[in-house]
Every structure is written in C-alpha cells, then in structure tokens.
C-alpha cells in the first residue's frame, strides 16, 4: 500500500525539521550562502513520499516507488537533468510535491468514505442526522479533490518539465474550495458528536475500534481521517509558499503563485473563522449567564466580541496601599474576563457566579510592570483604566501566580505594548527564531497551536519556560511552552527565513499600501 496522507505529512515535516537543523549547524559562511541553503530545505522534505511518474495516473497508481521528480525513469532517461539549472530542478520538485501530496490526500479521503462512512454496520448504528454531523460534506470535499488532482495530473503529463501548477491551484481555490469552509466550520459539532457517540453507543465504539485495526488504516485513528480536510487546506497554502520561494522574481510563475497563495489564505482564514464563530458564540452565552452586575449592566453577547483571556489575579487592597508592606493579607482574589474590546473585573461569589464591580474598553487600558520590589511583590503589575465604569480613571495593583502569567496578562491587556524582541513586521534585520519540533494544541485563548516545522519569531520569553511568538507563514501570535521548539541559532538561516516571508507576503504589503493611500486621499 502507498502512504496515507497522515504518514506522508508527518514524514515530510519531520524531514523538514532535520534539514533545518543541519542548516542551522553550518556556521562557516563558506559552506553555503543563504540563497543556496534555504531553497533546498524543502526538497527532501516536500517530496519524500511522492508516488507517481508523470505518464501514470496518480489516482490509479498510488504505490509508485519514486519519491522525487528527478528519480522518475522518464526524467532520468530524458537527459533533462543535465540541461536544467539547479534552481529550476528545485522548483520542479516543489511543484511535483504539491501534485503527489494531493494524490496521497485523495487516497486517505477515499478510505474515510469507503472504509468508515459506507460501512454497513456503522450505517445501521448511526441515525441519519448523526452521520450527517460526523461526516458533514466529505463527499463534496472528495469530489473537489478528485477534480483538482485530475487537472494537476493532466498538467504533469503535458510535458516532462512541469510548466506551472499554481494557476490550477488558483482556479480551483476560487471556484471549488468553498466546500472546505463548510466542512471545517462543522468541526466543533463534529468533535462533540464523535465524543458523545463513543460515550453513549457501545456498538459504535466497537465498530470504530474494529475498523481502525484494519491494515488499510495503518494504525491511524478514525479522528485522524476526520480532520484531514482542515489539515490539507492549511498545508496546501504552505506548499504554494514553498513554490513561491523558488520561482524567479517578477516572473509569470511568481504572479500565479502570489495569486494562488492569496486565495488560499482567504479560504484558510474563513475556515478558522468558521470554527471560532461556533465555539465563541456558545462561550459568550455561558459567560453571560455567570455574571451579576454590581455596577451598571454591560451587554456581553455581541457578534463582534470574543474572549481573549480569563482568570484569577490577586489585587492589592486599597488604591494607595504602601508598596513597602510585606504581607500576603495585602491581596485579595479578583477575576478578570478580557474580551477583544472590553475588560470586566469581578469577584467570584457562591454558585459559580461572578459579581462585576468594574469594566473598561480594552483600548483604554494601560499596564506597567513593577521591578525589584522583593518577594511579596514579585510578578506584580499596575493596570490602569483610563476610563472605567464610573467614567473616571482607576488603577489596580495586581499580582500573578508566575512570571509567565504576569507577562501573558500584560500583553493581552495592552497588545501594543513593546515586547522584549521586535516583531518581524518591523523589518528588523535579525530576530530570535524557533522551529516547532513537537506539535502543541492551545489550552487557553491566548495560546498558539503549533504544527511540526512551524517557524516563529520570538517576541518575548519568560524564565519559567514560555515563549510569545509570531508564526512567519500567517503572522498568528500566541504563547506556547519553550519545550515545544528549538531555537534557530544561525543568523543566515534566520535572515533567509525573514526574506522568504517578506516575499510571500509582499502582495499583502502592496495591497495595504494601496489601501493606505486611498484612506489618505
């Protein structure tokens, strides 16, 4: 059996990590220049599991032994490798990897449908509505993948040297990939339904376990198949980024790659927003039920509002309490709910309720760290409300449980406050970077989920093992444990990562400039 997409993706990202580690260890400038190092970082990784020669349908021949475009018999015998420039060969590999990874993805989708969804025993156990929530519009997603793969195959078969694939990606993203938004937006309900079925229906649990043991599944779980469409649409954007890094600048292929990337980014953002919207609405309703207002009531539920952070802090008693006092009795517990546009300050009361005694728009918050104040005032910061619920300025001296918790609150409360390291968007020549070597699932709203081989700029870090980072490929920010990654020490590799990032997002920059000039006019 050829590789399933889960295996393909994991092997590819693992090898990408190893390649970057090797590059990072090269400290001699003579060994290689950044322009020579980075383009090669994706070749062994991107194409590790490519599975089909150009003249054989990838749909029918998923077991092909050939891993790289240059290993195909047709390529070897043609003599084209002695004619093409090394950069062009790298570009061919990047385009070939996009095609073969789609074939692997289609194979996994096909298994999800034929092995799980169409299983007769499972169909008898599941009510029609349960099956609909569990599998959503996966048939539409598979049909779109098949059509996309056939067009990609046709392009590969036109010429032994692939002319382009990003124009095909662009057309399919614009015309067909909306099915991904539908599927991914259902993810919250899908996960909940799956957990409920495992809990309430022993027969369902038994059948799923038996199906997972089939050699076809290669030890992979049912849930790993369900999440495939979300993983694929995100990965596809990264594959186009990889092509974009290798095409010649100001060429037609750069234009098509930029166009494809822009459309894919729109779809990925819509998918993320779909997932967030479902969970945010339920969360806001739950919070609203827990709040009791001691002050004038503030409507919490709004379509444009979501929770950024919540938790308990210690408040120093009395607004003018001397900082020289050294006793824990100085502090009492308060509870904060921080939304994207509003801060609500409460005290917990019996019955899992919270009594609100102050609030302020998020834009009118300021924070200030207290330093060298002794042990009892360690991890203490000042929160200023420029205009609170009583339309006056108010200050709170707050103590967090750790340094990381203090910094997380300060950055969430005042996001424009300068961090320890500057963001890459400032066009800084060098900035600390880290690559993810262990996947991480965010546990709190201010945390960032990480995929293997993600590269991030380090904006801030704490002594107790947390990093505030900004992912290069999508500029998403958040906290994560430092143990999830390895710092990139080679300044040449960091500079190359930034250069590639600027190139990928230069269409976004030009768009912002146009918008800015229009606004000024």
Along the 521 residues of the chain, how does pLDDT read in single tens digits? 467 888 878 888 888 888 888 888 875 533 443 333 333 333 333 333 333 333 434 444 544 544 789 988 889 899 999 999 999 999 999 999 999 999 999 999 999 999 999 999 999 999 999 999 999 999 999 999 999 999 999 999 999 899 999 999 999 999 999 999 999 999 989 999 999 999 999 999 999 999 999 999 999 999 999 999 999 999 999 999 999 999 999 999 999 999 999 999 999 999 988 888 878 888 999 999 999 999 988 889 988 899 999 999 999 875 444 455 445 457 899 999 999 999 999 999 999 999 999 999 999 999 998 876 666 678 999 999 999 999 999 999 999 999 999 999 999 999 876 666 654 444 455 789 999 999 999 999 999 999 999 999 999 999 999 999 999 988 899 999 999 999 999 999 999 899 888 888 766 555 444 434 434 33
CB 376 within 8 A of CB 364: no
Distance CA 439, CA 107 (A): 24
The residues that bridge with 481 in the sheet, in sequence order, are 466
Q: Which bin fits 354, alpha (ψ -120 to 50), beta or left (φ > 0)?
A: beta
At which residue do the structure tokens 């990925």 appear? 268
Note the pLDDT of residue 464: 93
86-105 burial code (b ≥16 CB/10 A, e <16): eeebbbbbbbbbbbbbbbbb
pLDDT 10s digits, 292-331? 999 988 889 988 899 999 999 999 875 444 455 445 457 8
Q: What's the whole-model pTM score?
A: 0.78
The token duo for 490 is 């080679």
CB 165 within 8 A of CB 152: yes
At which residue do the structure tokens 């945010």 appear? 280
Distance CA 369, CA 319 (A): 16
Residues in CB range of 285: below 8 A, 6 or more apart: 301
Residues in CB range of 38: below 8 A, 6 or more apart: 23, 245, 493, 496, 497, 500
Report DSSP state, residue 435.
E
Residue 19 φ/ψ, nearest 5 degrees: -65, -45
Collapsed DSSP state (helix, strand, coil) of residue 300: coil
Distance CA 282, CA 259 (A): 36
Note the pLDDT of residue 419: 63
At which residue do the structure tokens 């894919």 appear? 264
Number of H helices, E strands in the chain: 18, 13
**Residue ranges of E strands in 202-254:** none
Q: Which of 87, 45, 94, 86 is nearest to 69 (CA)?
A: 94
Note the pLDDT of residue 166: 97
Distance CA 235, CA 254 (A): 19
The token duo for 520 is 């000024």
Note the pLDDT of residue 238: 93
Note the pLDDT of residue 318: 54
């Amino acid at each position: 059996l050829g590789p399933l997409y889960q295996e393909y993706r994991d092997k590819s990202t693992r090898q990408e990590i190893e390649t970057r580690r090797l590059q990072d260890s090269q400290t001699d400038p003579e060994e290689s220049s950044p322009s020579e190092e980075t383009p090669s970082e994706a070749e062994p990784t991107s194409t590790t599991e490519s599975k089909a020669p150009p003249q054989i349908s990838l749909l029918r021949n998923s077991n092909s032994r050939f891993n790289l475009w240059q290993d195909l018999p047709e390529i070897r015998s043609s003599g084209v490798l002695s004619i093409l420039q090394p950069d062009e060969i790298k570009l061919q590999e990047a385009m070939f990897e996009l095609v073969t990874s789609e074939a692997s993805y289609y194979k996994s989708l096909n298994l999800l449908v034929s092995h799980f969804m169409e299983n007769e025993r499972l169909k008898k156990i599941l009510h029609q509505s349960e099956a609909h929530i569990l599998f959503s519009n996966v048939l539409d997603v598979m049909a779109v993948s098949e059509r996309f793969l056939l067009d990609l195959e046709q392009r590969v078969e036109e010429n032994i040297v692939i002319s382009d694939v990003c124009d095909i990606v662009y057309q399919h993203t614009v015309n067909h990939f909306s099915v991904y938004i539908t599927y991914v937006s259902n993810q919250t309900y899908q996960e909940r339904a799956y957990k409920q079925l495992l809990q309430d229906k022993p027969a369902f649990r038994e059948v799923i376990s038996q199906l997972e043991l089939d050699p076809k599944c290669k030890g992979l779980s049912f849930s790993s198949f369900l999440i495939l469409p979300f993983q694929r649409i995100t990965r596809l954007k990264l594959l186009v980024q990889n092509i974009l890094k290798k095409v010649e600048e100001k060429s037609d292929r750069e234009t098509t790659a930029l166009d494809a990337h822009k459309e894919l980014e729109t779809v990925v953002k819509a998918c993320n927003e779909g997932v967030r919207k479902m969970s945010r609405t339920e969360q806001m309703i739950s919070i609203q039920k827990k709040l009791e207002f001691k002050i004038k009531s503030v409507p919490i539920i709004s379509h444009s509002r979501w929770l950024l952070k919540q938790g308990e802090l210690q408040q120093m008693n009395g607004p003018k309490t001397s900082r020289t006092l050294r006793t824990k009795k100085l502090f009492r517990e308060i509870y904060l709910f921080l939304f994207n546009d509003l801060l609500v300050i409460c005290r917990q009361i019996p019955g899992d309720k919270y009594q609100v005694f102050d609030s302020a728009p998020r834009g009118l918050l300021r924070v200030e760290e207290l330093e060298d104040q002794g042990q009892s005032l360690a991890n203490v910061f000042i929160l200023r409300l420029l205009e609170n619920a009583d339309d006056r300025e108010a200050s709170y001296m707050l103590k967090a449980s750790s340094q990381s918790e203090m910094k997380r609150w300060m950055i969430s409360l005042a996001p424009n406050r300068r961090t320890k390291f500057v963001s890459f968007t400032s066009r800084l020549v060098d900035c600390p970077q880290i690559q993810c070597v262990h996947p991480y699932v965010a546990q709190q709203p201010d945390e960032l989920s990480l995929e293997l081989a993600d590269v991030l700029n380090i904006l801030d870090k704490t002594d107790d093992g947390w990093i505030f980072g900004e992912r290069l490929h999508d500029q998403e920010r958040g906290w994560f444990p430092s143990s999830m990654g390895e710092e990139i020490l080679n300044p040449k590799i960091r500079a190359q990562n930034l250069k590639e990032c600027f190139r990928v997002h230069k269409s976004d920059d030009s768009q912002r400039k146009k918008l800015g000039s229009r606004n000024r006019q």
